[in-house]
Amino acid sequence: MSIGDVSCQILDAEKLTVQDNVLVTGDVDERSHKANCERAITFLHQHYNCVVSLNMADKADTQQGQFPALSISNLEESVLEDHTEGLLFDQNTVPFDFDGHVLLWMAYLEGGIREIKTYQVDTRQIQTLIRFGRGDGIISHCKLAKPRR
């Protein structure tokens, strides 16, 4: 269970009691945490926790730009990794899914263009999968799926 963008509670599946509390952020200072919490979107997949931090240009706080775009925690190993290279998530970003290895999102660009993108955690590579124009209709959600056999 993810508790905002600060920690995950690992629960016993049968008793639903807390077994462990794992921090998923490097800084638990309350002032900076509040600024990050307002712009954080959290995904859980198996033992991975993914925190996407949106860079909100309309927020005039002194913490702007301090947070990594993406933080991924391996909860089994208590390892936190920040990912920043080439990543910028802002108010024109819609994160859709995370499968432990790939983050999937849509970026709104100028002129009504939308791009569906992926970020490969292991290789730290960004890829644009598809572009949609203004007349292509509404994209409400995307989901990562295993290949058909």
Query: Using one digit for the tens of pLDDT, what is the confidence trace for 8-31?
Result: 666 677 777 776 666 655 555 655
In a domain, 104, yes or no: yes
pLDDT at 60: 52
pLDDT at 147: 81
In a domain, 147, yes or no: no
pLDDT, average across residues 40-69: 76
49's enclosing H/E stretch is strand 48-53
**Residue 68 contacts by C-beta under 8 Å, 6 or more apart in sequence?**
53, 82, 83, 84
Cα angle 29, 35, 128; round to 5: 120
Range of the domain at 124: 2-136
**Residue 44 contacts by C-beta under 8 Å, 6 or more apart in sequence?**
1, 2, 8, 50
SS3 112: helix
Could you give the number of structural domains in the chain? 1
What is this structure's pTM? 0.79
**Residue 30 contacts by C-beta under 8 Å, 6 or more apart in sequence?**
none
Give the residue among 47, 148, 37, 54 at the shortest CA–CA distance from 95. Answer: 54
| Contact between 70 and 119 (Cβ < 8 Å) | yes
Average pLDDT, the chain: 81
In a domain, 144, yes or no: no
What are the angstrom distances between the C-alpha of 48 and each of 22, 52, 111? Answer: 11, 13, 36
| Banded pLDDT at 107 (limits 50, 70, 90) | very high
In a domain, 105, yes or no: yes
pLDDT at 62: 44
In a domain, 141, yes or no: no
* Single-letter amino acid, residue 97: D
Q: Give the least confident one: 65-69, 78-82, 119-123.
A: 65-69
In a domain, 142, yes or no: no
In a domain, 146, yes or no: no
In a domain, 50, yes or no: yes
Residue 92 scores a pLDDT above 70: yes
